[in-house]
Amino acid sequence: MDFNALFSDFGGYTITGLTVGAIYALVALGYTLVYGVLRLINFAHSEVFIAGAFAAIWGWAAFGLDRDSVVSGFGSIMLYLLVGALIAAVASAGTATVIERVAYRPLRKRNAPPLAFLITAIGASIAIAEAFGIYTRRLPVGAPTVVKNDVLFTVFGADVTAVQLLVIGSALAMMVALDLFINRSRVGRGIRAVAQDQNTAALMGINKDRIILIVFIIGGAMAGVAGMLYDIRIGTLTYSVGFLLGLKAFTAAVLGGIGNLRGALIGGLLLGLVENYASALFGANWKDLVAFVVLVVLLMFRPTGLLGESLGRARA
């Protein structure tokens, strides 16, 4: 255990961990939304993330940007960020809609057992990932440099770059917006009602199929923006990257309390920090192991996660 490596750049590891954790948190929101309403683990959500990430790169390519392009000028940067986010959100929301309509809705109509949903989710995940793999010939796809990784300021000796600020700020802003939407809007009240009791909500005049579709769309849009932010941060994308990232996002949702929106954010940020601190203490090869061990240990003492409040009981 190399404590010197950790404490010599503790601020840097913290900022990087929060950046990684912010992406986990955005993807985790989709898992926790769907589980909160349907009690379903949507393992195809990782490929919803991938759809948005690829869509952003291909959208930028349509505007003439390739992996060697560097965007300059504040106006141009904001334009391409908005375009990339919109394209990614629409692509991921569309993918999530297709998954809900084609894979899950027929099973709900037939009152299929939970195992059927689980197998269908895994099958859909593999099918979508392989489709992207075939289309890209299993080669990495490069993203343009939309935001330069320049240092903006220093906090407690740690450099904060433009990319890190963008990722963390975007995740926090989207989380706050989603929390307000769920707790204060009419549709949000419908989502909470369906999450609490689908049959009673239907008797009150709430169209549960419409609410479930909206949940998939919102979760998909969040994952799409996370995919664009991943492109900006990493710079390259492969068809298979969604598997491990989706698994960690699901871990983040469980860590914070599956079905809890704020728990997904806390779990994602915490998981990112644990990973980065572990890489400093034990080496980069140990970060995944330590992250999942921490999850297992936490669930042994708090099975409902850190917050443990279900979506149906969210405060108005």
For residue 312, pLDDT beyond 60: no
Tally the residues of the chain.
316
- With tokens 């939309």, the residue in question is 146
Contacts of 82 (CB under 8 A, 6+ apart): none
What is the rounded average pLDDT of the residues 273-277? 93
The pLDDT of residue 288 is 87
- Which domains, ranges and CATH numbers included, belong to the chain? 3-301 (1.10.3470)
For residue range 73-82, list pLDDT tens digits in order: 999 999 999 9
For 70, the 3-state DSSP assignment is strand
Mean pLDDT across the chain: 93
Beta-sheet strands, E only, within 122-232: 141-142, 151-155, 158-161
In whole angstroms, give the CA distance from residue 130 to residue 120. 15
For residue 156, pLDDT beyond 90: no
For residue range 244-256, list pLDDT tens digits in order: 999 999 999 999 9
In whole angstroms, give the CA distance from residue 166 to residue 142. 20
Contacts of 179 (CB under 8 A, 6+ apart): 261, 262
For residue 91, pLDDT beyond 80: yes
Rounded to 10 degrees, the C-alpha dihedral 167/12/176/170 comes to -10
Partners of 155 in beta bridges: 158
The pLDDT of residue 307 is 87
The pLDDT of residue 315 is 43
For residue 314, pLDDT beyond 80: no
For residue range 44-65, list pLDDT tens digits in order: 999 999 999 999 999 999 999 9
The pLDDT of residue 316 is 37
Q: What percent of the chain has pLDDT over 70?
A: 97
Short-list 287, 73, 261, 97, CA closest to 184: 261
